[in-house]
Every structure is written in structure tokens, then in C-alpha cells.
A = this chain, B = another copy of it.
């Protein structure tokens, strides 16, 4: 399977749309998936502005690709119209009915995802690929442990092969179909909710094909559990050079999915001694010694810091025990000392203010960075 593209181009169709490249030689791309059903009202008037702002904010946070479920033809139409309204490359997630894929392809949609396990007969796949090919739109083959082809599921249940092997085989089988249709503009994902299955399936697939890989743990769980499960799985894979785009699936907001994904990618960089991109927040857990409420300060500044395009380490500390020591290494640090708040820049105290002046002083120093 050597003829598949090692890099693919996503988006760039339509006015004001930048293309995003993904795969060999390009940075790992962060993506997320919209949580709610998109209605016609969501993209009109005031609601439309709110939606566009939120998508723009996701872009600032580091999200490079945004997927929406397109459960029916009406949803496909609405998503298509939205794709004309925002610079963010949008992806349509299509199940069961290939006609939905055909419909979204009439719009500047950047990518489509199909689950070959439920899209029906080969002719449906062929029609989809024909139109996607004509439009230059890449397709992701998204294989999930929960919807394996029946024969592979049977083999897993019978103990003949493990889940990871079944996921890899299901992906390879679909790639062969795509190859037969001479469609090479493709990504693959093999997702399971298990950590070991996720890691092994992706390793197998990387050994067997050069197709760009979308990696993620499916149904990873609520915020904390899902972040842990995704972090250990994806960090392991990315450290091995496996994975071209990352989606962290959480039973939580898209913003937290994007923050988790970028933190995982930054953790890989940091573990290699490289500088992470964007703002890294170093903040203390707070304890009985704290004179400064680190929790509420970080909560209040989180959005601003994560949408900041500067690369910097910001330290938010509660007290003198660790505060000044750590903040010394940060590009900007804020620490409570008694009733006062101290601001540091790379080891130098730049200001001492009262608690109520802390936000304004921090804002001012942040601007200067």
C-alpha cells in the first residue's frame, strides 16, 4: 500500500479558506467535534455570530479542524452553509447514508469521515469517493471497535484475533477498496476505548501502511478520566512518531478537548526538550498557606491565556514556599506574599500590588511580553 498520499491537503476550497496540510513533515493537527445538533437557527443572525465567534476562539486555541455530525440531509445542508461562513476547515461525519456525503460535497467542506462498517454496499462508497475525488476532498476511514465488520467481530469474540488486530484489518480492508477505486487522498483512524487496544492498533497500522493517521481514544470518558486515558495513549503513540492529527474525545466541552489535545502535543515536545507552542500555565494546587487564590485567578484568565498566540510560560502561585522559586523561571509569574501580590518577569520582580489590583497589573505585563 505504498501509493497512498503521505501528506494530504485539507480545505482551501472557497473564499477566505486557507488550506491545512497534514501528514509526513507537518505538525500534528489538533481537531475536535461539535457536541450539539446544528439547526438552521444556529447559523442565522445573533446565534450565527455567537457560533462564528466560538469557532474563531477554537482556532486561536490551536484547533485546526472542526468536525460536525451530519445525521441527515437537512443537517448536511446546514453544515454546508456554515462551511461557507467560517475560515476553519469543517469536516462532515457521515454514517449509514452515503447521500449525506454527496450533499455536503456540494459545499466547501474540507474533509468527510465515513465509517465503512455502516455506510452500506460498495457502490455507495464508490459514489462518495468519485465525488470527493472530483472535488479534491480527502476522506477519513474511521474504524471503531464498537462497529467492526461482522466477520472480524466474530473472530475477536472467538479469540482468534485481538481487538487491535481486528481494527487494523478492518482499516486495511477499506484501504484496499479505496485503492481499487484509485482514491488515495485518505486518512485512517482505528479507535477503541481501551488504552492498550488503541496503542497496539495504531502501531500495527503504522507498520502496514503509510497513510496519515488520525488518533484518539473513543468514548474516553468524563473530563478527568478521559483526559488521563487520552493523554497516556496519545503521548505514547506521538512519542513513537505515530499520529498526524489528534482528537481527544471527552464527555465535556470542545474547548477542553482542544486544550487537552494541545497539552498532549506540547507534552511530547517538552519531553523531547523542545519548547511547547502557545502559553504553558504553571499553577500551584493551592493549600492552607496560600495568600492568593490561584484557582479563581487561573479560571478567570484561562480563556485569555489559551487564546493568546504568544509562546510563553505563565506561573500562577499561591504562596512564598514555591512561588518565587518557580516564577523565577517563567516569562511572567504572579505570586501571593502575605496580603500582597507580586509579579515577576524572568526572575525580576516588576510589581507589588494589592489583591484587587492583581488583574490589571497582570494584564499590563501580559501585553508587554
* Chain A interface residues toward B at CB < 8 A: 33-38, 68-71, 75, 93, 95, 115, 118, 144-148, 193-196, 199, 218-229, 231-232, 235, 249-252, 256-257, 259-260, 263-264, 267, 270-271, 273, 280-290, 294-295, 298-299, 302, 315-317, 321-326, 328
Closest B residue, CB atoms, query A316? B251
Pairwise interchain contact A226-B283, C-beta atoms closer than 8 A: yes
7 contacts between A and B (CB under 8 A): A71-B288, A95-B289, A219-B285, A220-B282, A249-B284, A251-B283, A252-B285
Distance in angstroms between the alpha carbons of A222 and B302 in the assembled complex: 8
| Chain B nearest CB, measured from A325 CB (Å) | 3
Contact residues in B for A33 (Cβ distance below 8 Å): 285, 287
Distance in angstroms between the alpha carbons of A175 and B5 in the assembled complex: 57
Distance in angstroms between the alpha carbons of A115 and B322 in the assembled complex: 11
Distance in angstroms between the alpha carbons of A35 and B149 in the assembled complex: 50
Distance in angstroms between the alpha carbons of A211 and B123 in the assembled complex: 65
Distance in angstroms between the alpha carbons of A280 and B286 in the assembled complex: 28
Known contacts A256-B224, A267-B229, A282-B221; A287/B322 CB under 8 A: no
Known contacts A37-B288, A232-B264, A287-B93; A147/B321 CB under 8 A: yes
Contact residues in B for A260 (Cβ distance below 8 Å): 224, 227-228
Q: Which of B95, B249, B322 contacts A146 (CB 8 A)?
A: B322
Distance in angstroms between the alpha carbons of A270 and B229 in the assembled complex: 10
Known contacts A93-B287, A271-B196, A282-B193; A225/B259 CB under 8 A: yes
Closest B residue, CB atoms, query A306? B225
Q: Which of B251, B285, B288, B325 contacts A294 (CB 8 A)?
A: B251
Pairwise interchain contact A195-B271, C-beta atoms closer than 8 A: yes
Q: Which of B145, B196, B223, B288 contacts A70 (CB 8 A)?
A: B288
| Pairs A-B, 3 closest by C-beta atoms | A146-B325, A69-B288, A228-B263
Contact residues in B for A283 (Cβ distance below 8 Å): 219-222, 226, 251
Pairwise interchain contact B229-A194, C-beta atoms closer than 8 A: no
Known contacts A195-B267, A232-B231; A145/B288 CB under 8 A: no
| Chain B nearest CB, measured from A280 CB (Å) | 8
Contact residues in B for A256 (Cβ distance below 8 Å): 224
Pairwise interchain contact B321-A95, C-beta atoms closer than 8 A: yes
| Chain B nearest CB, measured from A201 CB (Å) | 14
Pairwise interchain contact B225-A281, C-beta atoms closer than 8 A: yes
Known contacts A219-B317, A288-B36; A270/B146 CB under 8 A: no
Most chain B Cβ neighbours within 10 Å, of A33, A146, A225:
A225
Q: Which of B69, B273, B298 contacts A289 (CB 8 A)?
A: B69
Known contacts A228-B231, A264-B228, A288-B75; A219/B282 CB under 8 A: yes
Distance in angstroms between the alpha carbons of A317 and B144 in the assembled complex: 14
Most chain B Cβ neighbours within 10 Å, of A228, A260, A280, A315:
A228
Pairwise interchain contact A195-B251, C-beta atoms closer than 8 A: no
Distance in angstroms between the alpha carbons of A199 and B295 in the assembled complex: 26
